[in-house]
Amino acid sequence: MIALRLAAALASGLLFGFGLSLSGMLDPARVRGFLDITGPWDPSLAFVLAGAVAVAGLATLARRRLPRPALAERFELPGKTAVDGRLVAGSALFGIGWGMAGLCPGPAVASLVLGLAPTAVFVAAMLAGMLIHGQLAKGPERPAGGGP
């Protein structure tokens, strides 16, 4: 079962990377052209976004009809659904980074195969930021038993 899950994950990742490449999402200049609504706006990535929303919507409808996933015991859904300050701040930070770099995590990892130094630097910085956040999000260590 583990081998089948790994094969499915690999196939999904390859398909996702191919789709990103085919759609032009690996080109930071094209992404910036889409995000720059005050300059020479490139609306072509809006079709990519619309296609992604449509696929996600269909997958959500299908998930509601399935008792469980094909390769797992249960669906892994987020426990938090409230929009709070952390979510808004994180979303804003993500958007600012995407606009500045022209890359977000998926396309950045997929474009590593191109061998471009700026992409490698972006991915290294992204991973460092994830590690730092992971450490900061833990907070100070507390003794077992809930004491101060």
Please answer whether residues 20 and 102 qualify as being in contact, where contact means their C-beta atoms are separated by less than 8 angstroms: no
What does the mean pLDDT of the chain come to?
87
Average the pLDDT over 131-146 and give the result.
71
Query: What does the pLDDT look like over 11-61, one tens digit per residue?
Result: 999 998 898 888 888 888 888 888 888 888 888 888 988 999 999 999 999
pLDDT of residue 144: 52
Answer whether residue 118 shows pLDDT above 80.
yes
Average the pLDDT over 78-101 and give the result.
89
Question: What is the three-class DSSP state of 94?
Answer: helix
Domain segments of the chain as ranges: 2-138
Q: Please give the C-alpha separations between residue 79 and each of 25, 70, 94, in angstroms, as whole numbers.
A: 30, 21, 21
Going by pLDDT thresholds of 50, 70 and 90, the confidence category of residue 146 is: very low
pLDDT of residue 139: 65
Residue with tokens 């994180």, as numbered in its chain: 90
pLDDT of residue 5: 92
